Amino acid sequence: MGLRHPQGRRALTAIIAAQFIGSLADNALLILAIGLLAERQAAGWATPALRLFFYLSFVLTAAFAGAIADAFPKSRVLLATNLAKLGGCALLLAHLHPLAAYALVGLGAAAHSPARYGILPELLPAEDLVAANAGVEIATVLSILLGVALGGWLLLLPAAWGLGTIAVCYAMSVVCTCAIPKGRAANPQALNDPRALVTTFARSSKTLWRDAEGQIALAVTSLFGAAAAVLQFVVLRWAQERLGLPLAKAALLQIAVALGMAGGAVAAARWVPLRRALTMLPV
C-alpha cells in the first residue's frame, strides 16, 4: 500500500492532518496556559514549570512508551493519546490548575511520539518512508509556528472561548486519527513484564552513555532541548519587561526563534555532511 495507491495516500493524509492539528493545539495551549497562570497571579516559578511538568511525562514514561505503541494497534494508541490531550484541555475548562492539566497533555504527547513514528513503516513501503517522514516533519514545523500565533490570538478572547477553540482542534485531530487504518499490534505481549522493560531501558541508557558518540548525541540533544525550552520563556519575559509587549504579542516573537531553529537545521543539512558532524562540537 504505497503512496501511489489511494488507500496509502488517504492513510498518510490522515496521519499528517492529525499530527498538524494536534501539534497546533499543543503549542497554542502552552501560550494559553501561560496566560491563565498570569491571570491567576501564580508564583513566578509556575510558568516555566509548565514545560517541566510536560517533559517530566516523557521521562516517567520513557521505558514504557515504545512498548505501549507495540502492545496495541498504533492507530488506536494515537487515538487514545489525542483523547488524553483533549482531556487535559477539558480539565483546564473545569478550572483545574494549569500545571496538572498540562501534565496530562504531556502524558498524551509522550505516548504519541513512538506510535506516530512507528506507524509509517506499517502502512507504507520502504521506498515511500522518506517522503512520508518529510511530510510529517513539515507539518510539525508549520504547526509549531502557527500554534504559537494561534495561542497569542486566543489570549485576546475570554479564556473559555480560547480553551474551547483548542478543544475543537483536539477533537478534529481525533476525527483524523479515526481515519487511519486500524492495523494490528506489533507485539501484544510487550507490556507483560514492566520490570523487564525498566531493566532493559536502564541497561540500554547505560550503554549509550558509555559509548563516545552515543554520549555526545545524548548530551547535545539534552542540552539543546533544555536551552530551547529556557529560551522560550526568556524571550517571553524579555519582551514583556523590556519591550512592554503584552503576552499576546510577546508570544509572536517565539515564531522568530522557531524560524531561526528551522533555518539552522536547513543550513546544517546543506553545508555540514554527516562525516563532519562531530567537528561542529567543542569536543
Q: What is the CATH number of the domain that holds 170?
A: 1.20.1250.20
The answer to the question of residue 203 being in a domain is: no
**Domain enclosing residue 261, as ranges:** 211-283
Structure confidence by residue, pLDDT tens digits, 123-173: 888 777 777 877 887 888 888 888 888 988 898 888 889 999 999 999 999
Q: CA–CA separation, 265 vs 267, rounded Å?
A: 5
pTM: 0.81
Domain count, the chain: 2
Residues 246 and 166 in one domain: no
Residues 185 and 216 in one domain: no
pLDDT at 264 over 80: no
Q: CA–CA separation, 269 vs 168, rounded Å?
A: 36
pLDDT at 35 over 80: yes
Residues 131 and 179 in one domain: yes
